[in-house]
Structures are given as structure tokens and as C-alpha cells.
Amino acid sequence: MSSAQTSSTPASTTAQDIIPTSSQNLLNDKWDVVLSNALIKTGLGFGGGVLMSILFFKRRQFPVWLGIGFGLGRGYSEGDAIFRSNHGLRTVKA
């Protein structure tokens, strides 16, 4: 084998070369998704509440607070589903 052939072939990875993801990294990734999702849902609820307040409710405050509440609730429920999922965890079937 020449040196040109060895440099062009991809390096094979073995079981010892793969570094497992720590549980802290999995938890941090889930928190990032949950917080960004809750922030986006709350912002959309706020925007929808402001729009409804301006168009239909004579600029009252309750549609804004209702929209924020719906956004926070939706973010919470989706965050709960993300934390309950077993994505990224090793499962063993008996």
C-alpha cells in the first residue's frame, strides 16, 4: 500500500472511539429546546392577544393576558412531553 491510498481511505471508528453523550448534555439540550419553545409560544400568544385586543375588544387587557396564558400553557405541556420522552436514552427490551 502506498501512502496515497492510506490517506484517502476513511478512518474506521470502533466502539472504543465513540464517546457516549453524558446525561448532563442530554438534559441541557432538552432544557434549551423547552425554554426556546416556551418563549416562542408565549410571544405568539402575546401577539395574538394584542391583535385580538385591538381588532375586537376595544383595547382591553384581558385578551393579551389570555394569549400569554395560552402560550405559557402550551409551552409547559410541550416541555413536559419533551422531558417524558426517551429520546437519547438507551432502552433495553426484555
Residue 81 domain flag: yes
The pLDDT of residue 2 is 53
Each residue's pLDDT tens digit, 70-80: 999 999 999 99
**Is the model's pLDDT at 35 over the cut of 80?**
yes
Helix axes 62-84, 23-56, angle to 10 degrees: 160
Residue 64 domain flag: yes
Question: How many structural domains is the chain composed of?
Answer: 1
**Is the model's pLDDT at 69 over the cut of 80?**
yes
Residue 93 domain flag: no
Higher-confidence residue of 27 and 88: namely: 27
Mean pLDDT of the chain: 82
Residue 49 domain flag: yes
Residue 19 domain flag: no
Residue 23 domain flag: no
Residue 52 domain flag: yes
- Mean pLDDT calculated for residue range 33-44: 94
Residue 80: domain span: 45-85
Residue 92 domain flag: no
